[in-house]
Amino acid sequence: MSNKEIKSFDAIVIGSGQAGTPLVFKLASHGQKVAFIEKEHFGGTCLNVGCTPTKTYVASARRMWEAKHGEELGIEIPAGAKANLRKIKARKDALIKKSVDGIAQGVEKNDNIDFFKGEARFEGRNIVAVNNELLTADEIYINVGGSAFIPDGYQDIPYLTNESILDLEELPEHLLVIGGSYIGLEFGQMFSRLGSKVTIIEQGGSIIAREDEETSKTIQHMLEEEGVDFRLGAECVAAKNNGLDGIVAQIRCSREGAVDIKGSHLLLAVGRRPNTTKLQLEKTGVRTDDKGYIEVNDRLETNVKGIFALGDCNGKGAFTHTAYNDYEIIAENKFEGKDRKVSDRITTYGLYVDPPLGRVGITEKEARQKGLDVLIGHRPFSRIARAKEKGETKGYMSVVVSAKSKKILGATVLGVGGDEIISGIVNIMYADSSYEVIRDSVQAHPTVSELIPTVLETLKKL
């Protein structure tokens, strides 16, 4: 290593996800010379294999659903709608390409950014190797993201992940999904709507177990009504390639005993792991936890001065919006003299089944587990005028309020527009205001959002 020339930079950014990419341009705009390393595609998970492509597919699946449900609203739509996965994929690829090309052009035109395509690894505390080059900087930002976790026993099976399933050009005849959480549910519903038979196999006794029981049961029921088959309490004993017939999942269910389920394709959706194993972090002294997440403080710095971790790999959030907030924390603290912290962040996210789930803060279940003194507001979507008019009355809204401070601690909005409606509650939580502010607000009618004040008018003790 000593015989090689080491190129010096003001900063090194490893990974081009939703934290790394804006940070590179921010550093460069302040005159810093930046080394930008990416092993695959500009844009990270969200742009290439996450939010952008999956929500593109969700939109196509929604069109199929609408084509089959016109009669309910008095619209006679002739039978025969068919999903063309090749065209759906082409639309997705075009959207991604436009954004990726935009990033690439911005990098190429910026004299302060040197781009290195390859896999980074540390050769010392502040020395990074990529391809056959050595780079050094006083500040290094790690934004390597995460990838699908592959459990033992599937290595010899032609399985799909959330990435490879997006490369299919023909619909699976029967898609087996291992994992009944967020990724599995989204893909399960979308492929069912597009025309595949879908079976979701979940080890736990309920899907998305971190959510309230009502949320889990409501979503399961919604998908079952659309033809998705669920096998819960299932221990996946094995899966095997069945040759021309596809794949057999051999499971043992508490309810059904041992069964074989034959499918044409198998999607593994049992969780994700950080992409940190090949970084050689042991050469830096940077600490990771038992799952490989890089440990950081409230300002995203590791235990080694000058090395920071942003995005999915730091275990502080697994979403595009948390990754981008990581960027904001770094950038504003560094260049604007602010003191932004990870602990200031309120957890919020969506589950993009249809109708979608919007979530913020704690659930009712968490409030019970912590023994909190709270008030609960609850109302089904079947009591919302706009939902009735739309013909989409599935779901409910629930709000958790501190009995003492009158602050909203969390909310669940499962129903039409839930992913957007939740932002109104998020805003009042960031304002640190009493729930009475939004309770006493005047919302436009007819909207789904007008349910929020109504829910808050009838709070009950947990």
CATH classification of the domain holding 404: 3.30.390.30
What percent of the chain stands above pLDDT 70? 97
Q: Is residue 389 part of a domain?
A: yes
Number of domains in the chain: 3
Q: Assign 181 to helix, strand or coil.
A: coil
Domain around 370 = 348-461
Cα 115 versus chain centre, distance: 27
Q: Is residue 154 part of a domain?
A: no
The residue from 270, 303, 319 where one domain ends is 270
Token pair for 242: 């069945």
Domain check: are 10 and 122 in the same one?
A: yes
Q: Pairing between strand 247-253 and 234-241?
A: antiparallel
Domain check: are 143 and 277 in the same one?
A: yes
Domain check: are 261 and 361 in the same one?
A: no
Cβ(434)–Cβ(462) under 8 Å? Answer: no
Q: What phi and psi values does residue 434 have, to the nearest 5 degrees?
A: -65, 150
Q: Is residue 1 part of a domain?
A: no
Token pair for 57: 């597919």
Return d(Cα 123, Cα 130) in angstroms, integer: 10
Domain check: are 108 and 38 in the same one?
A: yes
Cβ(230)–Cβ(216) under 8 Å? Answer: no
Count of beta carbons in the 10 Å neighbourhood of residue 445:
9
Q: Of residues 48 and 401, which shows the higher confidence score? A: 401
Q: Is residue 209 part of a domain?
A: yes
Q: Is residue 399 part of a domain?
A: yes
Domain check: are 14 and 144 in the same one?
A: yes
Supply the pLDDT for residue 85.
97
Q: Is the pLDDT of residue 446 over 70?
A: yes
Domain check: are 166 and 259 in the same one?
A: yes
Domain check: are 139 and 14 in the same one?
A: yes
The residue from 344, 375, 390 where one domain ends is 344
Of 99-103, 194-198, 331-335, 414-418, least confident by mean pLDDT is 99-103
Cβ(385)–Cβ(446) under 8 Å? Answer: yes
Domain check: are 286 and 427 in the same one?
A: no
Q: Is residue 141 part of a domain?
A: yes
Domain check: are 90 and 164 in the same one?
A: no
Domain check: are 190 and 297 in the same one?
A: no
Return d(Cα 275, Cα 397) in angstroms, integer: 36
Give the model confidence (pLDDT) of 70-99 as tens digits.
999 999 999 999 999 999 999 999 999 999
The residue from 236, 270, 304 where one domain ends is 270
Give the model confidence (pLDDT) of 125-182 as tens digits.
999 999 999 999 999 999 999 999 998 878 778 899 999 999 999 999 999 999 999 9
Alpha helices per DSSP H over 110-205: 182-194
CATH assignment at residue 337? 3.50.50.60
Rounded to the nearest integer, the mean pLDDT of the chain is 94
Q: Is residue 24 part of a domain?
A: yes
Supply the pLDDT for residue 249.
81
Taking CB atoms within 8 Å and a gap of at least 24, the contacts of 234-240 are: 234/201, 234/202, 234/203, 235/203, 236/151, 236/153, 236/178, 236/201, 236/203, 238/153, 239/153, 239/154, 239/157, 239/159, 239/178, 239/266, 240/157
Domain check: are 90 and 198 in the same one?
A: no
CB contact set of 171 (below 8 Å; sequence gap of 6+): 83, 85, 191, 194, 195, 196
Domain check: are 11 and 143 in the same one?
A: yes
Give the mean model confidence (pLDDT) for residues 279-283.
97
Q: Which pLDDT band holds residue 259 (cuts at 50, 70, 90)?
A: confident
Q: Is residue 153 part of a domain?
A: no
Q: Is the pLDDT of residue 460 over 60?
A: yes
